[in-house]
Amino acid sequence: MKNLLLLTDFSKSAKHAALFAYSLAKQMEAELTLCHAVIIPSNIPQAGLIVWPLPNTNSLLKDAEAELKKLKASLEETNAQGKFKPKVTVRCDPGPPVNVVKHIASKSEFNKG
């Protein structure tokens, strides 16, 4: 089964991209994985110079996962017509986006020719 990976930052443009990716997944009869890369402030150089309290890592991940689930639900609501309904999964991984993509791409479900 083909699987599309879509990173999102939850912006308006990203939501439009998600709608397009969902439509594409329907046409390709593929699965869709929504992913958000959570940048942990403590991993940023000079993060100790920030004057406001740093949020708890688990809190950041939970908030992002809740947003991903809302996005997933809104995409699945758009599937009124059509035979194929793409399976949508969500991932919320800590780290810079490039590292998250490299890690996910190395997984076998995204590395099929």
* Structural domains for the chain: 3-45+63-110 (3.40.50.620)
Q: What is the DSSP string of the chain?
A: --EEEEE----HHHHHHHHHHHHHHHHHT-EEEEEEEE--GGGSTTGGG-SSPPPPHHHHHHHHHHHHHHHHHHHHHT--S-S----EEEEEEES-HHHHHHHHHTSGGG---
Q: Tell me, what's the pLDDT at 49?
A: 54
Q: What is the pLDDT of residues 6-65, one digit of tens each?
A: 999 999 999 999 999 999 999 999 999 999 999 876 555 555 555 445 567 788 889 999
Whether the pLDDT of residue 84 is over 70: the answer is yes
Q: Tell me, what's the pLDDT at 52?
A: 46
pTM of the predicted structure, to 2 decimals: 0.81
